[in-house]
Structure 1
Amino acid sequence: MPTEPTPTSGDSDARMWSRLTALHAQVETRLAAALQRRHGLGLSEYRALGLLAEAPRGELRMQDLAAGLGLNQSSVTRLVARLHAADFTYRDACPDDKRGVYTVITDPGRARRQEARATYEETLGTALDEAAAAAPDLAPLLDTARRSLG
């Protein structure tokens, strides 16, 4: 009679990773909905404005913005076009390399990001609290991450 295979650490890792990616997707969906509903911003747009606001002189090369957001060049180009159309950013040529293009945050872009920040932080905190309550086995992990990274 065949026996059940013994679970391996790889099985455990795969289950843990699956749970974390599901949690990530759930939280990202909540953040995206709240930002869109309250501020008319997509989640990537909010994050792009944040990276730009924190960058020296409020500007980043397109490839640096793409890397910071985890997007490919095509996706970041479309994202920047939306931000530009909303007057949240403008494009500027790199003085050292005429092929290089910077994306620069505008005052309205800084203001929109600042307005949306409280929504982002409140929604994130609530989503993580609810995730910890719904999945008590994840609560210690979330608590540790909050304490060590916060």
Structure 2
Amino acid sequence: MTNPNSPATASWIALFRAQKRARTAIDSALNSANLPPLEQYDVLWALEQAMPLGLRPYELEQAVLLPQHGISRLTSQMVKQDLLVRLPCPDDKRGFRLVPSDSGLLLRQRMWQIYQPVITDFFQAKLAPDEVQELMQLLCRTG
């Protein structure tokens, strides 16, 4: 059992604190620019990466960090806002796939213009390129 004062535990806590600070800064920057929160960016980015087929809702759930009920509510809202399109699923007549609409693609690009500088300020400006590479390798080993 890991000691609550161990380096592994301290690293775990530091990782989550850094994520929370970065997330708060990103959402604040997006809000200041009158743009939607990061969850919408995450959905649009995951679906853009899966184009042209898009993703089924359960696949989208695996690609972003939201629970299924959050995905359903968020994607329904984004469909109503004309940011996403539901396409029939050829192998499941009751199912559907989601893809970003043209306005969703444009919104994601606008959001990136705000999101990217926060990444630079919080991450790239504080770590050397070799440290960024090492951190990525370490985090990828955890799954």
Q: TM-score range by the shorter chain?
A: 0.7 to 0.9
1:144 is aligned to: 131
1:52 is aligned to: 47
Take 1:148 and 1:75, find their aligned partners in 2: how far apart are those partners?
A: 29
Take 1:26 and 1:121, find their aligned partners in 2: how far apart are those partners?
A: 15
Matched residues, number: 135
1:21 is aligned to: 16
Secondary structure of the 1:57 match is coil
Give me the TM-score of the superposition, normalised by structure 2: 0.81
Cα distance change of structure 1 residues 82 and 99 upon mapping to structure 2, 3 Å threshold? same
Deviations 1:16-43 (A, max 9, x none): 1111110110001111121232142111
Take 1:94 and 1:100, find their aligned partners in 2: how far apart are those partners?
A: 5
Kept in 1: contact 2:25–2:118 (CA 8 A)? yes
Kept in 1: contact 2:86–2:96 (CA 8 A)? yes
Secondary structure of the 1:123 match is helix
Kept in 1: contact 2:42–2:64 (CA 8 A)? yes
Structure 1 vs Structure 2 CA RMSD: 2.6
2:113 is aligned to: 118
Give me the TM-score of the superposition, normalised by structure 1: 0.78
**Superposition map of 1:28-39 within 5 A:** 28-39=23-34
Cα distance change of structure 1 residues 58 and 39 upon mapping to structure 2, 3 Å threshold? farther
Take 2:73 and 2:33, find their aligned partners in 1: how far apart are those partners?
A: 22
Cα distance change of structure 1 residues 147 and 122 upon mapping to structure 2, 3 Å threshold? farther
1:3 is aligned to: none
1:136 is aligned to: none
* Corresponding position: 1:70 with 2:96: no
Take 2:29 and 2:63, find their aligned partners in 1: how far apart are those partners?
A: 22
Amino acid at match of 1:38: A
Kept in 1: contact 2:124–2:132 (CA 8 A)? no
Cα distance change of structure 1 residues 20 and 98 upon mapping to structure 2, 3 Å threshold? same
Kept in 2: contact 1:58–1:105 (CA 8 A)? no
Which of the numbers 86, 95, 102 marks the counterpart of 2:90? 95
Unaligned runs of 5+ in 2: 137-143
Ranges of 4+ aligned residues in structure 1 off by more than 6 Å: none
Secondary structure of the 1:60 match is coil
Identity between Structure 1 and Structure 2 (%): 25
